[in-house]
Structure 1
Amino acid sequence: MTTPRPAHHAAPPLDCPAHAGARTVERLYGPEFAADPMASYTRLRAHGSVAPVEIAPGVRASLVIGYDTALEVLRSPERFSKDPRRWRALADGTVPADSPVVPMMAYRPNALWTDGDDHSRLRGAITDSLGRVDPDALMRHVEHSADTLIDRIGPKGRADLLHEYGAVLPLLVFNELFGCPPATGDKLVEGMSGIFDADAGSEKANAVLAEGVAELVALKRAEPGPDVTSWLMAHPAGLTDEEMSHQLVVLLGVGTEPQLNLICNGLRLLLSDDRFAGDLARGTMPVEDAIDEVLWTDPPMANYAVHYPIHDQELDGTLVCEGEPILISLAAANTDPGLSGERRTGNRAHLAWSAGPHTCPAKGPARVIAAVALEKLLDRLPNIELEIPVEKLEWRQGPFHRALAGLPVRFPPISRRV
């Protein structure tokens, strides 16, 4: 799976933020940002709703941190393109091809990085194929997978829920829905997790990811079945093998790493926040409330939804230049001080799933999977608690996601189901 070299463009104008030079910008990487991204967003608000940031060493971008401005970008495809071949700094070599953020931002012929008719064709194939998934069957499979994993950890009385539950459950669900053999699924998750971290191992992880999707495409060409991969192949859009591979990367990206983060961020909240822990002690499980809260304050994808201005223009009073990447801070926009402080419970106006023509096509199944995962665990391990103080939990580094590095818990041991 290769990434085409973008066509060369002229350098950005000297007044463009890409030429900020020595000007200090906020870094969206490193341990300080991972530990407290909200502190970075607070400092950035001094710039207004659009702020200059560095997302990897030497890689500059504009970050949209205002809710209304984020919606303006997300809903204006006539002004802001998703096509990374417009990224001037990558095209002219200012950003090297081996930069750790490139695997998450470079062009692939998929629904995420296309506009217009190409996007409509690819998006239609994904939407139609996901629409064939039986919701009841999905719920049953999530319940069965969750029970299987809880049976493994239950007798031990302690576990790292991230590695032993949250990371494994989405993989089991993906393998089932996409007809993916476990060994291939392991490659896919290893590769996807690696490119999300956007570190020195990103290039190698991208190669592992490419190998895994190629295996799955070849298998399903030879042995189609009642699964999303085979339905994509049979869709009237007539996807080529290359297009199939890249659509699977998008769907895997939605269905594993962000799903893991939603589950684990939800568990962290339920086990540490008195608003929820008190309800748990009284025997109720406010899972839907916790999911809403996480999607507002700690969305699994914190900074992404990359766009490129089609021409130089002002965005809420800030100059943004043609070919300069604009990232949407879904986390900062959701916590914009200008938003009403009304209760978030049941409020689905957050931007965790993005908005506009590129809204996440799998938000319904993603929420079902997270809710069932949380409910099952809390039902079978009702006295579960964090093994360390919540402030001691560590977060993985990287500009794009909001991802715990571990989630150690303890609980009274339980017996496996008979």
Structure 2
Amino acid sequence: MQSPSDFPSPPPGCPAHNSGQGIPLYTQEFARNPNAFYDYMRHFGPAAPVELAPGVNASLITDYAAALHVLQNPDTFVRDSRRWRALNEGRIPRDSPVLPMMAYRPGPLFEDGARHLRLRQAVTDSLAKVDTHRLTRMVERTATYLISQFSGRGKVDLIADYSQLIPLLVFNDLFGCPGELGDRVAFGISGIFDGVDAQKANEVLMEALIELVTLKRTQPGDDIITYLMQHSANLSDEEMIPQIIQLIGAAFEPMSNLIGNSLRVLLTQGGQSEGPHSGGLLVEDAINDVLWNSPPIANYATHFPVQDVDLSGSKLDAGDPVLISFAAANTDPNLSTGRQTLSKRAHLAWGAGPHACPAKDPAMVIAVRAIERLLNELPDIEISVLPDDLVYRPGPFHRALSALPARFTPARAQERATASYVSTARTVGGHRAEESPAAQKGKFWSGFLSWWKG
């Protein structure tokens, strides 16, 4: 390994030269140019010291082979964050913004061994019951509804008005949520996602999910919640809530970012100019480009070594968090000559090993159909800012655009689908909708159901 004196200068805004401080992943500088940070981190070896939030240190794996080794060796690297030494010793701020993503909750994401297998099997078997044709129709009608909300304006933010809302509506449908209850679920998810009134949003979400589980116990349906309840794993109510929350978390942020980042690729590379199927960049190719080069979850899959480990020269201490940089591993220079010969699915955006994403096939269906419907409905859509002016949301885990402003020829009134708007003054989960952006998003489920039923 090189000594620190051999390293190139750290990227702008990186205080890595300060003694004892990891490379920060939560700054706007990192969000602006993460690849420059990854290039700098590689000089530390396969794992680099990073700071996920103020006072929260970890190691980040940037090497493809090392990432696979960690992901595929659950006996040495476990997911149970109750082993987190700094947290157990009181050295992590209790209000740290990364705790919701890293602190232990009962569920497959934070379990290992037989318990993980039992909980994961319930999820994979339940997802397998979702018919692809039904899911396709669900996405297409959801996309049609959302497009009808802005097609007459001639302009849109494809993040706030489209890619963030598609997962909300599709998963409310998959969960079998009735109107008012689905509004509260959407309010809770959006509030946590937006970071606005997050505590209130979390309370509304938890109350809504408890009511949803109680409802499905007495009124089962053809939906994922019912499938989970009826699974041979015999999940208790206490196990159901974490399962649902982790399903939501695994679907909402990654799906929104995958759709948004793929639209950025299509709209900045001109693939949409001749339509998604005729000579331009194919939708599937744009999605594959994102999964390789700009994965929606860039750094995550937190592991904890059960003992001190030497990983090809990088020392990893027992009980200290080790994260996988899917983004850095996928762009590992050691793969530069071999990526062309690898399978299109050899990227690590879906993870690998026992905790690999169980929902990649339905996720692809949702992303492809959502993007295709948008491009077919608005064939002349184009971004309305220079590509270099696009801004990404800061944060250690995701790769997410703050906005993707676009313009197009407005549809005439008679060409637009009839939309049923819900009053912004309606009450959602005990809170008035105009109080926050989350509440305004929360109205969409009832609005969609009204529109769909005519």
Q: After TM superposition, is the score higher than 0.5?
A: yes
Q: Which residue of structure 1 aligns with residue 336 of structure 2?
A: 340
Q: Are positions 1:27 and 2:24 aligned together?
A: yes
Q: Are positions 1:369 and 2:366 aligned together?
A: yes
For 1:408 and 1:323, the matched residues in 2 are separated by 43
For 1:345 and 1:313, the matched residues in 2 are separated by 29
8 Å contact 1:298–1:331 — kept in the other structure? yes
8 Å contact 2:272–2:280 — kept in the other structure? no
Return the match for 1:81 from 72, 78, 82: 78
Q: Which residue of structure 1 aligns with residue 95 of structure 2?
A: 98
Structural mapping, 1:145-164, within 5 Å: 145-164=142-161
1:254 partner SS = helix
CA-to-partner distance for each residue in 1:311-358, whole Å, 9 max, x for gaps? 111112111111100010111111111103444997111000000000
Change beyond 3 A, Cα 1:200–1:166: closer
CA-to-partner distance for each residue in 1:91-145, whole Å, 9 max, x for gaps? 1100022211111111111011000110011011111111111111101111111
Larger CA deviation: 393-402 vs 283-292: 283-292
TM-aligned CA deviation for residue 146 of structure 1 = 1.0
> Which residue identity does 2:27 align to in structure 1?
G
TM-aligned CA deviation for residue 213 of structure 1 = 2.5
Change beyond 3 A, Cα 1:183–1:338: farther
Change beyond 3 A, Cα 1:305–1:166: same
1:159 partner SS = strand
For 2:282 and 2:341, the matched residues in 1 are separated by 13
For 1:298 and 1:216, the matched residues in 2 are separated by 35
Structure 1 length-normalised TM: 0.89
For 1:203 and 1:40, the matched residues in 2 are separated by 32
Give unmatched runs, 5+ long, in structure 1: 1-19
> Which residue identity does 2:112 align to in structure 1?
D
CA-to-partner distance for each residue in 1:148-207, whole Å, 9 max, x for gaps? 21222111111111111111111111011111235444544554455567x796655544
8 Å contact 2:151–2:410 — kept in the other structure? yes
1:306 partner SS = strand
Give unmatched runs, 5+ long, in structure 2: 1-16, 419-454
For 2:46 and 2:146, the matched residues in 1 are separated by 43
Q: Are positions 1:133 and 2:133 aligned together?
A: no
Change beyond 3 A, Cα 1:203–1:326: farther
Q: Are positions 1:39 and 2:36 aligned together?
A: yes
For 2:183 and 2:367, the matched residues in 1 are separated by 20
Cα RMSD after superposing both structures: 2.3
> Which residue identity does 1:409 align to in structure 2?
A
Q: Which residue of structure 1 aligns with residue 175 of structure 2?
A: 178
1:133 partner SS = coil
> Which residue identity does 1:339 align to in structure 2?
L
8 Å contact 1:29–1:56 — kept in the other structure? yes
> Which residue identity does 1:79 align to in structure 2?
T
Larger CA deviation: 280-289 vs 118-127: 280-289
Return the match for 2:64 from 54, 67, 74: 67
Change beyond 3 A, Cα 1:263–1:155: same
Q: Which residue of structure 2 aligns with residue 314 of structure 1?
A: 310
Structure 2 length-normalised TM: 0.82
> Which residue identity does 1:143 align to in structure 2?
E
TM-aligned CA deviation for residue 262 of structure 1 = 0.4
